[in-house]
């Protein structure tokens, strides 16, 4: 079963962000582009390197009109403790969602029942809250914020220009392809 075009479920979650706790709901996610960035757990090994990479790229995502939401099955209290204890995590300004009941992890099919943890899943959601791109990878391999940003930007482009597609390694401002019968077998 594919998650493409799956609309995120209604949810309410506790969030740690900018030295504060608040709630986040589905309504807060709608109306803008979002990345839900699941990782197995706080106080682990690969996760801080990924979250720091996202923290450093966060201004570029905001510039693109996209919010980052990191998500693990830890509580918001654990997120705060990790933020206070780790210099990599201390750089984070984006919302860190607490999903201790695995509501979001189950909805986006990235919950590992046997381990009680989220898999390393990345989901790009359009302003309607629908998944337009996703990947789930092994828990021992980190992801790349630059490639994720490129995929967000490409997804935004095709969302706005439905008659065009973005080739491999496409970057904003580069040429796209307008599919047509004349191009079959020519690319």
Indicate if the pLDDT at residue 75 is higher than 80. Answer: yes
Is residue 149 assigned to a domain?
no
Per the CB < 8 A criterion, the answer to whether 165 and 179 are in contact is yes
Q: Give the domain extent around 36.
A: 12-143
Q: Between 187 and 160, where is the model more confident?
A: 160
Q: What is the CATH number of the domain that holds 81?
A: 3.40.30.10
What are the catalytic residues? 47
Number of domains in the chain: 1
Is residue 106 assigned to a domain?
yes
Is residue 90 assigned to a domain?
yes
Is residue 67 assigned to a domain?
yes
Is residue 178 assigned to a domain?
no
Give the chain's end-to-end CA distance (angstroms, integer): 30
- Across the beta sheet with 33-38, the strand order is 20-25, 12-17, 96-98, 66-72, 33-38, 120-125, 131-137
Q: What is the mean pLDDT of the chain?
A: 96
- What pLDDT does residue 47 have? 96
Indicate if the pLDDT at residue 185 is higher than 90. Answer: no
Is residue 32 assigned to a domain?
yes
Secondary structure, 3-state, the chain: CCCCCCECCCCEEEEEECCEEEEEEHHHHCCCEEEEEECCCCCCCCHHHHHHHHHHHHHHHHHCCEEEEEEECCCHHHHHHHHHHCCCHHHCCCCEEECCCCHHHHHCCCEECCCCEECEEEEEECCCCEEEEEEEECCCCCCCHHHHHHHHHHHHHHHHCCCCECCCCCCCCCCCECCCHHHCCCC
Alpha-carbon distance of 125 to 30, in angstroms, equals 9
Indicate if the pLDDT at residue 180 is higher than 80. Answer: no
Indicate if the pLDDT at residue 182 is higher than 80. Answer: no
- What pLDDT does residue 186 have? 67
Alpha-carbon distance of 41 to 72, in angstroms, equals 6
Pairing of β 33-38 and β 120-125: antiparallel
Is residue 156 assigned to a domain?
no
């Amino acid at each position: 079963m594919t998650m493409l075009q799956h609309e995120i479920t209604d949810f309410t979650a506790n969030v740690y962000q900018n030295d504060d706790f608040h709630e986040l709901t589905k309504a807060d996610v709608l109306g803008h582009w979002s990345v839900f960035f699941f990782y197995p757990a706080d106080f682990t090994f690969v996760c801080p390197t990924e979250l720091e990479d996202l923290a450093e790229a966060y201004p570029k995502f905001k510039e693109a009109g996209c919010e980052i939401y990191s998500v693990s099955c830890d509580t918001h209290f654990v997120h705060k403790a990790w933020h206070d204890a780790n210099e990599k995590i201390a750089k984070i300004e984006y919302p860190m969602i607490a999903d201790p009941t695995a509501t979001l992890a189950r909805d986006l099919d990235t919950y590992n029942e046997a381990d009680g943890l989220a898999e390393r899943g990345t989901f790009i959601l359009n302003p309607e809250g629908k998944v337009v791109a996703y990947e789930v990878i092994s828990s021992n391999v980190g992801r790349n914020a630059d490639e994720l940003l490129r995929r967000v930007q490409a997804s935004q482009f095709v969302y706005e220009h439905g008659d065009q597609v973005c080739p491999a390694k496409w970057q904003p401002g580069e040429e796209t392809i307008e599919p047509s019968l004349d191009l079959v077998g020519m690319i």
